[in-house]
Amino acid sequence: MAEHLRVMSAMIRDLKTAGNELTDEQQVLAVIRSLPDPEWSQMKLLMTHSENIKTFNDISRHLELEAERLEVNRSVALVARSEKRSGIVPKRKKHHNNGAQKNGIKLLRVELESATEANALAIRMLQS
């Protein structure tokens, strides 16, 4: 997102030097319209109708914070692993503190660096 905002800033600066200066509102709308559709559609709607976004700096700050939030959400994965069951079924359910458990599936929250690492972890867990 930072690269996208740098490109947009450079385009606005180039237009200004060419004699076609955009108003603050035009700059904000240009940035909003240039956002990629599938992942930013909700943000586009919010930013379009927000009265707090008046300048290029405002929209830049909001988009950088949102991009950071999205990146953090991508790096946290919820991994499910099937529990190996023995033939004995206890009368009472055991409560585990290391993850949620439901119907023999244990859910673990794992911090991952990339989607590739998440895929590798999922494959290892399925094989065990």
11: its two tokens: 């385009």
100: nearest Cα among 109, 111, 89, 92? 109
CA geometry: angle at 4 spanning 20 and 51, to 5°? 70
Rounded Cα gap, residues 55 and 32, in angstroms: 12
The range of the structural domain enclosing residue 52 comes to 2-73
Rounded Cα gap, residues 69 and 84, in angstroms: 36
In the chain, the number of structural domains is 2
63: its two tokens: 């988009």
If asked whether residues 64 and 118 sit together in one domain, one would say: no
Give pLDDT tens digits along the chain (128 positions).
Answer: 888 889 999 999 999 999 999 899 999 999 999 888 787 888 888 888 888 889 999 999 998 988 888 877 766 655 444 455 555 555 665 555 544 555 555 555 556 555 666 666 666 766 65
Strand 76-82 to 105-111 pairing: antiparallel
